[in-house]
Each structure stands twice: as C-alpha cells, then as structure tokens.
Structure 1
Amino acid sequence: MPKVKTNSSAKKRFSVTGTGLITFQKPFKRHILTKKSKKRKRNLRKDGVVDSTNHAFVKRLLGLR
C-alpha cells in the first residue's frame, strides 16, 4: 500500500489541540483594518474551532484517520 499523504495546505492552516479539537486562525485580520471595529479585531485574535460537521473531513486532510 502507498503512504497516505497529508494535505499540504491543511497542515499549514489547522492544528490539533491536546483535547482533540481542531483549531485555525480566523480570516480577515491581515489588511484594511481601519474600517473594522476594535471589538471585531479583538474577536478575530482568538483561534477558531472547526465545527463538528467538518471534523471528519479536516482529520482526513491531516492524515489522522
């Protein structure tokens, strides 16, 4: 059997926590920040968590299943 390759774009975007959650950095925090409110930018700092409906798909991309 051939080796299962990890999706290169997925390994740069997602990371698995110790408890098994899959986290990612939220988008829209790179440029054009002047028109975004402080509250919105503050909330974009926090890591996003992959929804349970996409959990199996992202795990397959990362080669964890």
Structure 2
Amino acid sequence: MPKMKTSKTAAKRFKKTGKGKLRHEQQNNQHKFEGKSSSRKHRLDRDADVHVADEKKIKRLLGER
C-alpha cells in the first residue's frame, strides 16, 4: 500500500492544536476592512474550531488515519 500524501491545500488552511483540535481562519477576514467595525475585525482575527462533522474528512486530508 502506498504512503498517504498530505493535501497541501488543506495543510495551509487548517492547523492542529496541542490537544489535537483542528482550527481554521474565519471567513470575511481578508480584505474590505473599511466597511467593517473594529470590534468585528477584532473578533474575526481569532481562529475558529472546525465543526465536528468535518473533522474526519479534514484529518484524512492532513494525512492522518
């Protein structure tokens, strides 16, 4: 059986925490900041947890079994 390859696109979008949780950058946090309030920009700056239903798929893309 060949080795599993890591999906490089997924590796750039998701990261694993020390406890094994998956995190991702929130949407609406790339451009057009002029129209967003400072509190909204501050909130969007934090990473969010990946939804439980998607964890299995993402872990597989990251090369875990």
Supply the distance in 2 between the matched residues of 1:57 and 1:39 (Cα, whole angstroms).
32
Aligned residues: 65
Which blocks of at least 5 consecutive residues in structure 1 are unaligned? none
Which blocks of at least 5 consecutive residues in structure 2 are unaligned? none
Supply the distance in 1 between the matched residues of 2:32 and 2:17 (Cα, whole angstroms).
30
Q: Percent identity?
A: 40
Equivalence for 1:15: 15
Deviations 1:18-51 (A, max 9, x none): 1111011112222111111112111111111101
- Indicate the larger mover: 24-33 or 55-64: 24-33
Cα RMSD for the two superposed structures: 0.9
Structure 1 stretches of 4+ with a deviation exceeding 4 A read: none
TM-score, normalised to structure 1, is: 0.91
Equivalence for 2:48: 48
Supply the distance in 1 between the matched residues of 2:11 and 2:29 (Cα, whole angstroms).
20
Supply the distance in 1 between the matched residues of 2:4 and 2:10 (Cα, whole angstroms).
14
